[in-house]
Amino acid sequence: MQTTHTDGSSAPSTGYHTLEKRHSFNGRGTYYQPDRGACGWVNSADDSIVAISVHQWDGGSHCGENIRVCHDGRCISVQVVDMCPSCHVGSLDFSPSAFSQLAPKSEGVIGIG
């Protein structure tokens, strides 16, 4: 996954894996029913949003950042609004709408990069 920071800064190391501008990760993509995310915003299934791994959460410093995610030649931009406690580093939990832009929801789990 590639990320785009709105402020251009790089956070100091906190023992967590941080998302860095133009850094790529590979992982698994799943979807969930969003509500109030860990960033504090109320979200819906129709929003193009994502929850990132707890290991990359970094105290919420990535809230509002846009991430470019690709699967099988399809790429989308999603906004970080939540934390995914069960996700490994590089894995993301999408809103149903965002997931559907990459693959049919019936797939359930997809490879992302």
**Where along the chain do its domains lie?**
24-104
Q: According to the model, what pLDDT value does residue 21 have?
A: 56
Q: According to the model, what pLDDT value does residue 25 have?
A: 86
pLDDT digits (tens, 9 = 90+) for 5-35: 333 333 433 444 445 556 788 999 999 999 9
Q: According to the model, what pLDDT value does residue 58 have?
A: 94
Q: What is the pTM of this model?
A: 0.80
Cβ atoms of 65 and 71 within 8 Å: the answer is: no
Asked if the 24-104 domain carries CATH number 2.40.40.10, the reply is yes
Tokens linked to 31: 């979807």
Distance CA 44, CA 109 (A): 20
Cβ atoms of 9 and 59 within 8 Å: the answer is: no
Low-confidence ranges of the chain (pLDDT < 70): 1-22
